[in-house]
């Protein structure tokens, strides 16, 4: 089955939230609908944020978020972050996630980014090889994460 990659549409919040149930692990419960609507409006309206989706059979089967950050180093070229990479459990192991990330990297390069970073909390070798296959280099940098007191 063919998968098409594109930016998410404004009416697809709930399809994205359904896909996010395939993350695995523990997540916090979603806030009430009015809060979700405010966050979605901010998210979808920010030109520096792109939610990329893979669609097959009329369903969103994969997604990630690309954030392009303005920058004053590297000749003022921006850099990018990729977050919330997920493929629907029924669609895994078909190359969709790799193709999604490669498509997303192309968006970053088209935006003039000099690098794109991605963090994962996963430790399984299979997951790390997946990111390498998509074009990311393991061990080039060291990642650190801080959380506010209310999280984690």
Note the pLDDT of residue 23. Answer: 86
Note the pLDDT of residue 15. Answer: 97
Note the pLDDT of residue 149. Answer: 80
> Is this model's pTM higher than 0.85 or not?
yes
Note the pLDDT of residue 93. Answer: 94
- Alpha-carbon torsion (7, 71, 143, 152), positive or negative: negative
- Alpha-carbon torsion (83, 59, 24, 91), positive or negative: negative
CA 50 vs. chain centroid, Å, equals 9
Distance set, CA 107 to CA 50, 56, 103, 114, 141 (Å): 9, 20, 7, 12, 22
Note the pLDDT of residue 152. Answer: 59
CATH superfamily of 4-133: Gcn5-related N-acetyltransferase (GNAT) (3.40.630.30)
pLDDT in tens, the chain (152 residues): 799 999 999 999 999 999 999 987 677 889 999 999 999 999 999 999 999 999 999 999 999 999 999 999 999 999 999 999 999 999 999 999 999 999 999 999 999 999 999 999 889 999 999 999 999 999 999 998 888 987 65
Note the pLDDT of residue 27. Answer: 79
- Cβ–Cβ under 8 Å, residues 111 and 71: no
> How many Cβ atoms are within 10 Å of 78's Cβ, its own excluded?
18
Closest CA to 102 of 54, 139, 150: 54
Whole-number Å distance between alpha carbons of 86 and 8: 14
């Amino acid at each position: 089955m063919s998968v098409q990659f594109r930016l998410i549409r404004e009416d697809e919040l709930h399809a994205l939230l359904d896909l996010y149930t395939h993350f695995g692990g523990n997540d916090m419960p979603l806030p009430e609908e009015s809060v979700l609507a405010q966050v979605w409006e901010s998210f979808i309206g920010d030109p520096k944020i792109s939610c990329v989706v893979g669609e097959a059979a009329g369903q969103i089967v994969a997604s990630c978020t690309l954030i392009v950050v303005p920058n004053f180093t590297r000749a003022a070229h921006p850099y990018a972050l990729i977050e919330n990479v997920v493929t629907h459990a029924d669609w895994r192991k078909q190359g969709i996630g790799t193709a999604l990330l490669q498509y997303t990297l192309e968006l970053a390069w088209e935006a003039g980014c000099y690098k794109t970073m991605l963090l994962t909390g996963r430790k399984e070798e299979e997951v790390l090889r997946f990111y390498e296959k998509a074009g990311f280099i393991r061990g080039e940098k060291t990642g650190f994460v801080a959380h506010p007191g209310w999280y984690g």
